[in-house]
Amino acid sequence: MILSKGDRIKIKHPGNFFRGVLLEAEKESVSMVLLNPDLRPGYNPWSSEFSLLAGFGVDQEWKGGSLKGLNDFIHKTQGEWRFPFFSYSLKDSIENLNTQHSDELGFPVAGMILPKLVFRIHQGYLEVLRGDLDPERFLKSKPNPFPERVPEIKAEMSREEYLLAVEKIKVHLQMGDAYEVTYCQNFRAEAEQFPMASYLNSLFKKYPSPMAGFFKYEDSILASNSPERFLKKKGNTLFSQPMKGTARRGGSMEEDEKIAMQLMSSEKERAENIMITDLVRNDLGRIAVPGGVKVEELCGHHLFPTVHQLITTVSCEMKEGLEMEEILQATFPMGSMTGAPKISSMEIIDRLETFHRGMFSGSIGYMNPEGDFDLNVTIRSAFYNQKKSFLNLPVGGAITIASQAEEEYMECLVKLKAQEEVIRSIFV
């Protein structure tokens, strides 16, 4: 049975279908799949319009090293579902910066895709939004071959090198060069093959996150189990939800409650969040009507499968006539992944980090036919290059003057733990 645009059928086994969509996305040259978990208190999912939204292939696309031409492409493709993506490297053209690290992963710096095939699952129904679709393709899908053994994941920098880098950042903070820096390190594995679709399917089932997604562009693949929203546009309103302040989950309900209270009362963790909240308010203030920026929730406590998080929601009413290019010029990259002030923090990051971030701490998402969009922050993500046969697992956190280097190092390991567990489990 072939379905065409506007057709919809009931999905009997959504879990199997989700898995099949991811497996088939991995076999495409270009694809993007956005996943919604079952709604639970505290989650802020992609959209109530879908539990899965996917685009396969390329009918039309815009891509480049800057934002030039993005608005033209949006106008040309209006009335369609489109899939934008922006790497951290886009900062160079926005803020006139240069990175010293070479890009190994190979994603374009920025782009937007109008796929040949677009479909979604909404309220238990599969609906075709563009192109023709055979549902049996996904129910019969089989994974690509697995490697014979679990890839060995190694830190690119030693614990001692990380601790030294944090102390160097704190010197910058003491000198007034910045007051918060989001510093990241990379964990890497060599792997001739790596089952990215199976990995994300397992990770999402075990640790569902509200802004998860899969993105493949030729040889480069991103599997993101992100809990963080960068920017959402609905009508003339923008929403940003910076996530700063993290603590591990407890082993019992009583321990969880104790950790949550400690996190919510921690001056250091709240300061991390409030500093970035101020930066986001400033960014949005550049494109908002006078008095249009509001903090909807400050340092709200949200519980995720592996961590406690403090999340702030900031909104703004935009000035008339603004389009996506102008919005991103004012807000990208997201302050939660740079620190503050942005430019000086990014310069410190580039000097002290040991890898090219690329799509890590960038963004993927969707734009609907009305021109509204939703973009995540590509954290809690794995990156694989099929041609060069390597896997990157970057993690990091905010460094402030109150940070203890050893505690920051342990926070990185907590964030990496879920990914490592799932990688081991899929090879059983």
Active-site positions? 228, 244
Q: Are 332 and 91 in contact (CB under 8 A)?
A: yes
- Residue 359 phi/psi, 5-degree rounding, is -75, -15
d(CA 418, CA 390): 19
Distance CA 74, CA 310 (A): 34
Chain-centre distance of CA 108, in angstroms? 16
How many other CB atoms are found less than 10 A from the CB of residue 407? 11
Region of 70 please: left (phi>0), alpha (psi -120 to 50) or beta. Answer: alpha
**b/e for 85-114, b at 16 or more Cβ within 10 A?**
bbbbbbbbbbeeeebeeebebbbbbbbbbb
Three-state DSSP state, 252: coil
Structure tokens at 184: 């990241």
Cα within 13 Å of Cα(150), Cβ side: 14
Cβ(374)–Cβ(44) under 8 Å? no
Q: Which residues contact 349 (CB under 8 A, 6 or more apart)?
A: 181, 182, 183, 184, 338, 339
Q: What is the number of alpha carbons within 13 Å of residue 135 lying toward its C-beta?
A: 20
